Amino acid sequence: MTQQKLLIVEDEEALARGLRFNFEHEGYEVLLAGDGERALQLFQETDPRCDLIILDLMLPGMSGYEICRKIRELDELVPILVLSARTLSEDKTMAFDCGTDQYMTKPFALPELLSRVRNLLDRHSRIPGQNQPNNGDTCEFGEVHVDFARYEIRVGEQVFEPTKTEMDLLRYFVHHDGRVLSRQEILTHVWGMDANVTTRTIDNFVMRLRKFIEKNPSDPAFLLSVRGTGYRFVSNGKSAEVSENDSDSETD
Asked whether 102 and 116 are in contact (CB, 8 A), the reply is: yes
Among 41, 58, 136, 175, binds Ca ion (CB under 5 A): 58
The smaller minimum CB distance to Ca ion, of residues 56 and 168, is found at 56
Report the sign of the C-alpha dihedral through residues 130, 132, 138, 142, in that order.
negative
Does 159 engage in binding with Ca ion (CB under 5 A)? no
Among 56, 91, 168, 214, binds Ca ion (CB under 5 A): 56
From 6-14, 119-127, 189-197, 224-232, span contacting Ca ion (CB under 5 A): 6-14
Q: ω into residue 48 within 30 of 0, thus cis?
A: yes
CA–CA distance, 92 with 82 (Å, rounded to integer): 9
The smaller minimum CB distance to Ca ion, of residues 11 and 147, is found at 11
From 9-17, 66-74, 121-129, 243-251, span contacting Ca ion (CB under 5 A): 9-17
Nearest residue to 240 (alpha-carbon basis) of 214, 222, 215 = 222
Asked whether 146 and 128 are in contact (CB, 8 A), the reply is: no
Spatial neighbors of 71 by CB under 8 A, at least 6 apart, are: 39, 40, 43, 53, 78, 80, 99
Under DSSP, is residue 52 helix (H, G, I), strand (E, B) or coil?
strand
Q: What are phi and psi of 83, to 5 degrees?
A: -125, 105
Does 91 engage in binding with Ca ion (CB under 5 A)? no
Residues in the chain, total: 252
In the complex, what is the shortest distance from the CB of residue 113 to Ca ion, in angstroms, rounded to a whole number? 16
The smaller minimum CB distance to Ca ion, of residues 16 and 153, is found at 16
In the complex, what is the shortest distance from the CB of residue 133 to Ca ion, in angstroms, rounded to a whole number? 36
CA–CA distance, 206 with 172 (Å, rounded to integer): 12
Contact flags string 162-201 toward Ca ion, x per CB under 5 A: ----------------------------------------
CA–CA distance, 225 with 203 (Å, rounded to integer): 10
Nearest residue to 51 (alpha-carbon basis) of 70, 10, 23, 83 = 23
From 54-62, 109-117, 137-145, 230-238, span contacting Ca ion (CB under 5 A): 54-62
Does 240 engage in binding with Ca ion (CB under 5 A)? no
Number of residues that bind Ca ion (CB under 5 A): 3
Does 101 engage in binding with Ca ion (CB under 5 A)? no
In the complex, what is the shortest distance from the CB of residue 82 to Ca ion, in angstroms, rounded to a whole number? 11
In the complex, what is the shortest distance from the CB of residue 74 to Ca ion, in angstroms, rounded to a whole number? 22
The footprint of Ca ion (CB under 5 A) covers 11, 56, 58
